[in-house]
Structure 1
């Protein structure tokens, strides 16, 4: 076992890498990053499907302290984002702190020693502070469809793309029409002999307006940092202006909805297909998607949009509720992630032997989406109540970095064995979230991955990103129970 560390971080995506950078820049070098995979990158390591790219402009989907000047286009593709994260880790000296192939199975808090005892696939670790940077979109969800395991062809989830699969001349079924599917469906449609896209509910898709950055523009970004900062600010302001429509005044969503209807009318001329692509729920209630080539892909010869519910999967294909069988060679599941199962399947044990899974039996809860009562010195990044529908999650993460860093500094400065958010403080925060959530577009009757099993929206922040930054500006000492080291 390593000697106890000041901080152990689980995960090496944007959250884990950014948190480690902020800790090192503050002079906290005794840290370890535990990563179950063989490389860093989180979701940008795992999602390598054709067409994978960011849906937030890259000058905003990057750290403010590491803006990056080499993006090839406005919405960067997956390989560039992964290279960016690797470069961040290298430039900020994180490589010696990374432990690859180290999957955390259990973390148990030792109240007497004020340490987290961490069991992993590669041995034991201990740390004063434990930071979970596992994110929300890391465990693929497969649909509960009768006969799914009976299929004898090739099948895989989009987040576990089989790169030995060649769609040329193949009959392919895509189940799901979410954020990943609208990126890889156009790629499959170009070469597959037959493509069936099974749609449970139509997504709202607006124009992406992507563009390539010419060499001169990229050189200008590199030479004039102020230009990058100005562009970042402009993108942030444009996206943040949509916040009221999501969190306070859903009626304003009609303005954004016009962009959807115009985009659909421009790209789909077939009235029947266009009607099938109009959602039956309010815009924004589920994630709004962006694409310039998804709708044209559905209109290609050899592509079929299927809106009848799936009844079962057979060894050779998919049968819908109307009894129609569709014989296919391959099934690709674009069915999202188990987003509400934060920290699963790890076993986390806090004070008095309390298990986090038991505390979260009715859904994940955390003060500010960061601290969980009964689990001292445990901090979550991209936890409950911190997802967005309108802006870059990197901005939210940077707010959390600052909050967690100041907690760590307080623990070290004041020689605290541990700090634990008070249960009444967490309960008050949860009550405020439930009250504010009632006014949001997400509470308008649709189901989405923003919800837990009980139908509560617990993934999203019901406010502006500026409001979250103010709320996390600094930890309030009155919110915590503390115990000092002897």
Structure 2
């Protein structure tokens, strides 16, 4: 939605709160729960939609489901014994988020149908001044929890806007548009398309998949959870925790290969065998075979995608789309298809996050102005020049193998620790030191070249517009959790309530914390200046 959308009312009130959270998806709900546990009672969540749930509210396309096991794709402090599938579907995940928000008393704190248009730091008041499409707010803490998977990435294809039929993005699915017997072009072959293509293939008359890049697709170990297992999860103490730990260990074992790409050859062989077993046509198999190392792009799971592409009513165009001429979609290789519906499976604005254009420092420079196309944050969470603000699921914290909840809860531990320390010390403002942020970024960038994210031989959304990996965490999530477990006060310049200018009240800054693996052991080292 545009930032200058007209306000709903000519009368605008100003509300003062201790914490303002932007977004009510899994990040916003989790942040609200943990902030309340940290003692923050006066908080509000601003949600531009009419319901909570974030990406699981927006993505309702046929076949939409999680590609992380259900037991791990949930808050550790709010386990759900009622998952009906090993990999939950969209409806169940959305219901889980609603139920969790209600159980923890978060739902009444959400202001629905309200969009943040501008948030700017006021150093004199040591508050964030937040403009929305309804009211104004001042807040001590600002938490950006909108996430990177909510703003559709719409391709700039010549002629697309003049297409006479129906065009929609997979995250804005047109359920009122009849696909039975339709001639459909799907542009994109990523995580969403892998799920909705098999779901719509039996209904459409003809389906043309325009695939710019072949994807590695592994078998999905999904199944219905029997009622006996759900009973076990409800009644046997520790059963859910044991399942969660087992699934976490399995994904972390896979993650070792992301840091040492040579180890992924065995997993890649599984993908190759899966493709050979399901696609017998050698020409189609060649078109679907990736030319990069598994893990370089997001890892995909499906038992139905490859079989769907072998059906007589499906054509695979191993090419990008060059243009749309009337009702005809033209590929860069010259192939084409006459269609009456175009579905865009083209992903989201991951690293050019829309929130970056709406959050401003004291001088009026936005996050985008600071980042210059390469998002950066200390521990993926705080940005120098933006005091008392936290970014959730932000730069440097993406993993190709683990759950977003694992990353989020590590961050929330850090945020909660920061808020507790802030309140007990009587601070007015805390701002991460620029040299600390720069040192962390340098550490990440030094570690990334040897990972599959950078060395896998592909172009992915992990790379920003400057060709720099601003997305990925190059180590284990265990290391992430240890790094974020304790709030490091000395990394911040702080202001007390009695001051009118910024002055550090932490111990003199004598060095930077950096953690490293030495001879296979995790250590915490101090680099003294």
**Do the structures match in fold with TM over 0.5?**
yes
Residue from 184, 209, 212 that aligns with 2:196:
184
Q: CA deviation at 1:216?
A: 1.8
Aligned-residue Cα RMSD (Å) equals: 1.2
Regions of 4+ moved over 4 Å: none
Structure 2 distance, partners of 1:18, 1:133, is 9
Q: Would you say the 8 A contact 1:7–1:32 is kept in 2?
A: yes
Is it true that 1:42 corresponds to 2:54 in the alignment?
Answer: yes
Shift of 1:3: 3.6
Q: Which residue of 2 aligns with 1:13?
A: 25
User: Are 1:377 and 2:403 an aligned pair?
Assistant: no
Identify which of 80, 88, 102 aligns with 1:76.
88
TM-score by length of 1: 0.98
SS in 2 for 1:241: helix
Residues 217-236 of structure 1 deviation map (CA, whole Å, 9 limit, x = unaligned): 21221112411111111100
Matches within 5 A, 1:437-456: 437-444=448-455, 445-456=457-468
In the TM superposition, what whole-angstrom CA distance separates every residue of 1:275-327 from its partner, at most 9, and x where no partner exists? 11100111111111000000000011111111133221122120223434311
SS of 1:173's equivalent in the other structure is: strand
Pick from 51, 55, 58 the counterpart of residue 63 of structure 2.
Answer: 51
Cα distance in 2 between the residues matched to 1:452 and 1:265: 34
SS in 1 for 2:213: coil
In the aligned structure 2, how far is the partner of 1:481 from the partner of 1:15? Answer: 26
Written as runs of structure 1 = structure 2, the 5 A alignment for 1:32-431 is 32-247=44-259, 249-344=260-355, 346-431=357-442
Note if contact 2:144-2:355 (Cα within 8 Å) is conserved in structure 1.
no
Secondary structure in structure 2 of the residue aligned to 1:469: helix
Aligned CA distance change for structure 1 residues 174 and 359 (closer, same or farther; 3 Å): same
1:389-419 CA-to-partner distances (Å, cap 9, x unmatched) read 0111101100000101111112211221100
Higher relative contact order (CA 8 A, sep 6+): 1
Contact 1:148 1:313 in 2 (8 A): yes
Q: Partner of 2:395: helix, strand, or coil?
A: coil
The DSSP-based 3-state class of the residue aligned with 1:352 is coil
* 1:84-116 C-alpha deviation (Å, 9 max, x unpaired): 000011000012211111100100111011100
Asked if the contact 1:13/1:41 (under 8 Å) is kept, the reply is: yes
Whole-Å separation in 2 of the counterparts to 1:391 and 1:328: 38
8 Å Cα contact 1:174-1:195 kept in structure 2: yes
Cα pair 1:102 1:120 within 8 Å, conserved: yes
Contact conserved, 1:104 with 1:346, CA < 8 A, in 2? no
Q: Distance in 2 between matches of 1:462 and 1:184?
A: 31
Instruction: State the alpha-carbon separation in 1 of the partners of residues 422 and 26 from structure 2.
Output: 24
Question: Is 2:356–2:366's contact at 8 Å kept on the other side of the alignment?
Answer: no
**CA spacing shift, 1:440–1:387, aligned 2, 3 Å:** same
Return the TM-score normalized by structure 2: 0.90
Please give the alpha-carbon distance, in whole angstroms, between the structure 2 residues aligned to 1:47 and 1:170: 22
Q: CA deviation at 1:23?
A: 1.6
1:346 is displaced (CA, Å) by 4.0
